[in-house]
Amino acid sequence: MSKNKEELEHRLRLRNIKLSDYDDIRAIMTSIYKNPGGAWTKEELKNQLRAFPEGQICIEDNGKVVAAALSLIVDYAQFGDNHTYDEITGYGKFDTHSDDGDTLYGTDVFVDKEYRGMRIGRRLYDARKELCENLNLRSIIAGGRIPGYANYADEMTPRKYIDLVKNKEIFDPVLSFQLANEFHVRKVITKYLPEDTDSRAYATLLEWINIYYEKDEKLIGNKKSIVRLGLVQWKMRRFSNVDDLMQQVEFFVDTVSGYKSDFCLLPEFFNAPLLAEFNDMDASEAIRNLADYTDEIVSRMSDLAVSYNVNVIGGSMPEYDGKKLRNVSYLCRRDGTQAKQYKLHITPDEAAYWGLQGGNGINVFDTDAGRIGILICYDVEFPELGRILAEQEMDILFVPFWTDTKNAFLRVNTCAKSRAIENECYVAITGSVGNLPKVENMDIQYSQAAIFSPSDFSFPHDAVVAQASENEETIIVADVDLDLLTKQRKAGSVRNLEQRRLDLYSIQWKQKK
């Protein structure tokens, strides 16, 4: 390779600034900042490096600095939104820097004119974001120049100009770049840099929010990121009594707990084999008698949840209060507390055979492993319910189901996949397999348990985290990463929750009185 060719090769390296870089930095700043005041002095750069060396970042090419980004940490509440550049930087001395602050404040980003168009500024912004996340700071805030405003100052306000830049009707060399890097404009600041005549001394107050920020770090008991799910694909078999049934339940809870799962999900009507005891009755009378066992089963499941240290979602069971027969799923938390979710939509078959009625409420439940929702079988086929839960910051949707045929199963399966994508959450489904020859209306079963995810680069290519074999009694155990959901909602290829046109439509829950 010739020497000339070697000299033409770029060798870019991201690193922290050193005082010996001053001449390169001064040359870039002087060429760019003719109006806003020129370059920092060497003494000012020395002070900045002394105050916060980790926050002063540059990119070099073959040993020469070609771009840089400067920042400090501040307790933002001490300054508020109506600050000036000089106030928040301590007139360039960075004596306003505080290691105990909550905000990374960006003071300068500049790129050598010969390196424009190489996306070097984006690399610096990404490095700042990484620094903000690693230091667990709430956000990055900066005062942004709007140099293009000089061409429009006589015909529109700064706010109008900013709106047009946001809508890409106008290009601003600074603001357009910042918006493309996921910053949003909080407000317009006046007299931010009085010497910035191009911006008419106006500036945008920009913010990038660190979605991983944890306000109060605890040594134990923090919100989990990796959550392990255990799903039981349950085989229907004859049980002579509740003790036999609970022996099988305990076997699966024990097994799932052995894999250190955070949740154990059972199917809808997993206790249906006990209906065989009432085979001489008609279907509606039999299921009301089955409801007599529900309280005992829930109590024993709750004990298992505590004993085996796993949150148990008890599929569903019938509940009868003497007036209404309903289908309910119990959440038995491993701290001993309980919650329940009624099935809201009743299939024509359930209404005709049993006289089931739907419940009237829906909730997101807090657990020690994330915020969860429960939709029983048919309910997952109504997208409004999943969206209402997603608006309450649900992380995982559990769907216990019972289906007799493959086409019935495919309705639940396909809709569950859709709920995961449109609501940017995980969805776990499981049902029962096998046959119950002496149980009317629940004689055959079809299931394939699965865990679904959103469909984007951070998740499995087919949006399936795990999937069981069809129609075999088994369990599946898999991990889901809740931090990936946070990333998806704020930085995904598409953002189904964030980008809804709420100016055109919304979903309203009508609470029954």
| Catalytic residue set | 268, 343, 377
- 358 in Cβ contact with 465 (< 8 Å): no
Q: Which two tokens stand for residue 337?
A: 């507390």
Kind of pairing between the strands at 139-144 and 396-400: unpaired
Q: Which residue, among 454, 461, 460, has the nearest Cα to 494 in the 3D structure? A: 454
Sheet containing 57-61, strands listed edge to edge, beginning at the edge strand earlier in sequence: 12-16, 57-61, 64-74, 103-111, 139-144, 203-209, 184-189
3-state secondary structure of 414: helix
- List alpha helices for 64-184, DSSP H: 85-89, 120-134, 158-166, 175-180
Q: Which residue, among 220, 182, 243, 270, has the nearest Cα to 487 in the 3D structure? A: 182
Between the alpha carbon of residue 3 and those of residues 6, 7, 62, the distances in Å are 5, 6, 14
3-state secondary structure of 248: helix
CB atoms within 10 A of CB 405: 11
- 357 in Cβ contact with 326 (< 8 Å): yes
State the burial class of residue 340 (Cβ atoms within 10 Å of its Cβ: 0-12, 13-18, 19+). Answer: buried
- Angle at which helices 294-307 and 242-258 cross, to 10°: 30
3-state secondary structure of 200: coil
Q: Which residue, among 76, 244, 214, 53, has the nearest Cα to 134 in the 3D structure? A: 214
- 115 in Cβ contact with 66 (< 8 Å): yes
Kind of pairing between the strands at 226-236 and 432-434: parallel
Q: First-to-last CA distance in the chain?
A: 81
State the burial class of residue 281 (Cβ atoms within 10 Å of its Cβ: 0-12, 13-18, 19+). Answer: middle
- 170 in Cβ contact with 164 (< 8 Å): yes
Q: How far apart are CA 159 and CA 152, in angstroms?
A: 11
